């Protein structure tokens, strides 16, 4: 074989491996397969799938290793996280990964089927050299979760609450990351906001920040000077402030705790330990976050100002660089130049960008970014006299901070709600992206992190949308799950498409094939179209109208015959909804 052939064969193999890894990613993604029915227990299949993900996470708080780590170690393979990281470009790693996952899945399946723990422990010991004691410890943890998933007290608890009786409290959150949220049907409480971010969140945030900076570096061969990050309240409750911890890592500071585990202050990580420049972070914060995390808002503001005041070279401290440049240019105060925490005016919530998109009330997409800034340009933190600003209007400061942004970013916090399930992701991340585009003169790189698997991943918005579409709206397992709910199932399908459209409006990030395949699946398939129409004609009307709008606004290019078909379906639905018989 000559060198050329060898080279092209290697290239082909690398592509196949990469493709295979993408298929695995889609296959393994946990997705909601229907709406939750109040009071209904989980099925064994759902439990096995969930527990297989549960055993892939270490739980240091319970002194429990991940089963996948133990199997990889027992088989003398590289660590499971190493296997995950490299499985898209090394066949050896991919084979190792599949072996580990298959053994973990089989062990979990045997526990869910009710096999005796000691027998399953002996089996996994023989197969992969996992210590019997550790396996037993993991299985008893799984068993407890399994029992809790199989019982369901939701209706009883609800009735108790209606009778004014006591309902036991329990934490809220994501079951994968915090199984102690089970059993459901308890009186959900949140967290102690003063303990935010937790030590676990700080530990988990570090690899995400490294992955984000690595990804940007691999895409653009440089390090970003300024990142705009979206912070939400409920996510930070579920993940104990992991997004807050990411901001602190980007700035290069660490929380200091007092004797009651409250975050009392921050300490600066020396540059030699940080090993990279400090990144400037502009925070656009939801109204819910602002209401829940007053002391955290203060901590974030203090952290930026502490970093801005350090005597460090500009190429290693971008906060300092930008603050000094701004003061030099405008003569403003240090506090103004270092304002980075923004939210709505006190008592206000949301960006309204979603409403503008849903109601098609915009002509120039720049209006969406301007609306975002109008709603979110209220500064929080302390002014030069140490007095709290409590939402002082500061549109010029937000405009200026966004004009330097190179990356917009948000973390996804659970498998249950993704970026096309609700309109809030595009109103926030899409809104801030559109605002940066006008103020910085070009679209920033847009990333989302995904810590739903042990291999913290950063994807571009476009990649995330591709994965979401393949696993949800274009996946029969997802849409048939929704359609079991009849009317509201069709509405869910329409919401997926509309929220996807929101990403066209704010970021132009939707590939044509996504719209093409939505049309093929729900409109061109006559049987499916009739099914949808009989269940919920109004949502089908909205869906088809949105597709026509995507084409009309130039977000999707398709063939004239497809457009004619859509117009025909649209007008016949309109007639039917208005009671005009055809
Ligand atoms: C929040 O948790 O902060 C949030 C929830 C829904 C929409 C927007 C923000
Ligand atoms: Mg396009």
Tell me the pLDDT tens digit for each residue of 116-135: 999 999 999 999 999 999 99
The DSSP symbol for 261 reads S
Ligand 1 mean position, distance from CA 349 (Å): 9
Check pocket membership of 307 for ligand 1, CB cut-off 6 A.
no
Separation of CA 378 and ligand 1 centre (Å): 17
Q: DSSP string spanning 337-374?
A: HT--EEEPSTT----SHHHHHHTT--SSTHHHHHHHHH
- Asked if residue 429 has its Cβ within 6 Å of ligand 1, the reply is no
Q: How do residues 222-264 score in pLDDT, each as one tens digit?
A: 999 999 999 999 888 888 899 999 999 999 999 999 988 899 9
Q: Are 278 and 251 in contact (CB under 8 A)?
A: yes
Confirm or reject: Cβ of 455 under 6 Å from ligand 1: no
Q: How much of the chain, in percent, has pLDDT values that exceed 90?
A: 73
479 — pLDDT class (breaks 50, 70, 90)? very high
pLDDT in the model for residue 452: 65
Rounded distance, CA 418 to CA 452, Å?
11
Please, is 378 exposed, middle or buried when counting C-beta atoms within 10 Å of its C-beta (0-12, 13-18, 19+)? buried
Give the domain ranges of the chain.
3-150, 154-189, 194-459, 472-577
pLDDT at 37: 82
**Dihedral sign from CA coordinates of 516, 517, 519, 524:** positive
Residue 576 pLDDT = 84
Q: What is the pLDDT of residue 2?
A: 67
- Average pLDDT for 170-187: 83
Residue 307, exposed/middle/buried by CB under 10 A (0-12, 13-18, 19+)? buried
Q: What is the 3-state secondary structure (H, E, C) of 144-204?
A: HHHHHHHCCCHHHHHHHHHCCCCCCEEECCCCCCCHHHCCCCCEEECCCHHHCCCHHHHHH
pLDDT for position 33: 67
Q: For residue range 252-303, what is the model confidence (pLDDT) as tens digits? A: 999 999 988 899 999 999 999 999 999 999 999 999 999 999 999 999 999 9
Atom of ligand 1 nearest to the CA of 427: 8
Query: In this model, does residue 38 exceed pLDDT 90?
Result: no
- Coil vs helix vs strand at 255: strand
Query: Helices 431-440 and 487-507 meet at what angle, rounded to 10?
Result: 10
Query: Are 541 and 522 within 8 A, CB to CB?
Result: no
List 253's β-bridge partners, or say none.
268
Report how far ligand 2's centroid is from the alpha carbon of 113 (Å).
47
pTM for this one? 0.85
Q: Is 503 in the pocket of ligand 1 (CB under 6 A)?
A: no
Task: Quote the Cα angle for 556-559-563, to 5°.
Answer: 80
Q: What is the dihedral of CA 483, 487, 490, 495, to 10 degrees?
A: -130
How many angstroms separate the alpha carbon of residue 288 from the centre of ligand 1? Answer: 6
Q: Are 349 and 232 in contact (CB under 8 A)?
A: no
Write the CA distances from 545 to 219, 233, 259, 354, 564, integer angstroms. 36, 33, 58, 17, 12
Q: Assign 263 to helix, strand or coil.
A: strand
**Does residue 61 have a pLDDT over 80?**
no
Position 94 pLDDT exceeds 70: yes
- The answer to whether residue 581 scores a pLDDT higher than 60 is no
Radius of gyration in angstroms for the set of CA atoms belonging to the chain, rounded to a whole number = 25
Question: For residue 366, what are the contacts with CB-CB under 8 A and spacing of at least 6?
Answer: 434, 437, 438
Distance 285 CA to ligand 1 centre (A): 9
Q: What are phi and psi of 388, to 5 degrees?
A: -70, 140
Structure-model confidence comparison of residues 229 and 10, the more confident one: 229
Predicted confidence at residue 384, as pLDDT, reads 79
* Beta strands in 269-348, from DSSP E residues, in sequence order: 280-285, 341-343
Q: Of the given ranges (82-96, 205-219, 288-302, 446-460), which has the lowest mean pLDDT?
A: 446-460
pLDDT mean over 542-565? 97
**3-state secondary structure (DSSP) of residue 3:** helix
Element holding 229 (H helix, E strand): strand 226-231
Q: In angstroms, rounded to a whole number, what is the distance separating the alpha carbons of residues 143 and 145?
A: 5
pLDDT in tens, 304-337: 999 999 999 999 999 999 999 999 999 999 999 9
For 79, the enclosing helix (H) or strand (E) is none
For residue 415 and ligand 1, the question of a CB distance below 6 A is answered with no
- Ligand 1 atom at minimum distance from 428 CA: 8
- With a pLDDT cut of 70, the percent of the chain lying above it is 97
Mean pLDDT of 7-17: 83
What does pLDDT average to over the chain? 92
Determine contact, residues 446/460, Cβ cutoff 8 Å.
Answer: yes
Residue 7 or residue 202, greater confidence: 202
Residue 80: CB within 6 Å of ligand 1? no
Q: Are 372 and 285 in contact (CB under 8 A)?
A: no
Question: Once rounded to an integer, what is the mean pLDDT over residues 91-110?
Answer: 94
Our CA angle for 314, 315, 316, nearest 5°, is 90
Please state the rounded mean pLDDT for residues 556-571: 97
Q: Write down the residue that tokens 């209904």 correspond to.
A: 40
pLDDT of 502 higher than 80: yes
Q: What is the pLDDT of residue 557?
A: 97
The answer on pLDDT for 21 being more than 60 is yes
Helix (H, G, I), strand (E, B) or coil at 284: strand
Q: What is the pLDDT of residues 383-413, one digit of tens each?
A: 878 888 889 999 999 999 999 999 999 998 7
347 CA to centre of ligand 1 in angstroms: 14
């Amino acid at each position: 074989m000559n060198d050329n052939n060898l080279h092209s064969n290697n290239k082909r193999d690398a592509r196949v491996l990469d493709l295979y890894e993408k298929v695995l990613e889609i296959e393994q993604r946990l997705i909601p397969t229907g709406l939750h029915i109040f009071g209904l227990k989980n099925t064994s299949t759902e439990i096995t799938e969930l527990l297989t993900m549960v055993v892939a996470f270490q739980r240091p708080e319970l002194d429990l290793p991940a089963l996948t780590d133990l199997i990889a170690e027992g088989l003398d393979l590289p660590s499971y996280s190493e296997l995950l990281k490299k499985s898209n470009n090394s066949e050896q790693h991919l084979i190792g990964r599949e072996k580990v996952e298959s053994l973990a899945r089989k062990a979990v399946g045997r526990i869910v089927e009710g096999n005796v723990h000691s027998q399953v422990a002996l089996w996994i010991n023989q197969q992969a050299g996992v210590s019997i004691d550790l396996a037993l410890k993991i299985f008893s943890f799984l068993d407890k979760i399994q029992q809790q998933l199989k019982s369901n007290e939701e209706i009883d608890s609800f009735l108790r609450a209606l009778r004014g009786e006591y309902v036991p409290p329990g934490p809220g959150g994501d079951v994968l990351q915090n199984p102690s949220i089970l059993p459901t049907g308890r009186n959900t409480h949140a967290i102690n906001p003063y303990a935010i971010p937790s030590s676990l969140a700080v530990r988990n945030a570090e690899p995400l920040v490294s992955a984000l900076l690595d990804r940007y570096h691999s895409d653009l061969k440089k390090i970003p000077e300024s990142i705009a990050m979206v912070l939400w309240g409920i996510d930070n409750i579920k993940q104990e402030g992991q997004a807050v911890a990411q901001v602190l890592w980007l700035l290069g500071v660490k929380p200091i705790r007092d004797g009651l585990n409250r975050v009392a202050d921050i300490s600066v990580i020396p540059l030699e330990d940080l090993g990279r420049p400090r990144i400037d972070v502009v925070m656009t914060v939801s109204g819910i976050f602002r209401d829940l995390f007053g002391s955290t808002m203060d901590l974030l503001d203090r952290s930026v100002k502490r970093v801005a005041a350090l005597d460090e070279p500009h190429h290693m401290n971008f906060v300092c660089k930008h603050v000094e440049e701004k003061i030099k240019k405008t003569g403003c105060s240090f506090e103004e130049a270092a304002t980075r925490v923004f939210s709505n005016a006190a008592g206000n919530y949301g960006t309204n960008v979603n409403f503008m998109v849903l109601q098609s009330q915009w002509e120039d997409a720049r209006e969406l970014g301007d609306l975002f800034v109008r709603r979110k340009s209220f500064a929080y933190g302390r002014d030069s006299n140490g007095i709290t600003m409590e939402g002082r209007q500061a549109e010029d400061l937000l405009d200026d901070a966004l004009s330097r942004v190179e990356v917009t970013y948000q973390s996804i916090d659970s498998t249950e709600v993704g970026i096309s399930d609700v309109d809030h992701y595009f109103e926030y991340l899409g809104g801030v992206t559109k605002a940066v585009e006008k103020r910085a003169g070009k679209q920033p790189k847009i990333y989302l992190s995904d810590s739903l698997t042990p291999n913290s991943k950063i994807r571009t918005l476009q990649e995330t949308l591709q994965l979401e579409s393949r696993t949800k709206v274009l996946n029969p397992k997802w849409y048939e799950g929704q359609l079991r709910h009849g009317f509201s199932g069709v509405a869910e399908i329409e919401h997926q498409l509309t929220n996807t459209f929101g990403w066209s409006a704010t970021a132009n990030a939707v590939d044509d094939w996504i719209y093409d395949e939505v049309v093929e699946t729900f409109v061109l398939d006559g049987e499916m179209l009739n099914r949808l129409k009989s269940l919920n004609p109004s949502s089908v009307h909205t869906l088809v109208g949105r597709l026509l709008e995507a084409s009309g606004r130039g977000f999707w290019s398709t063939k004239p015959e497809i457009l004619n078909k859509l117009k025909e379906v649209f007008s016949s639905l309109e007639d039917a909804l208005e009671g005009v018989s055809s």
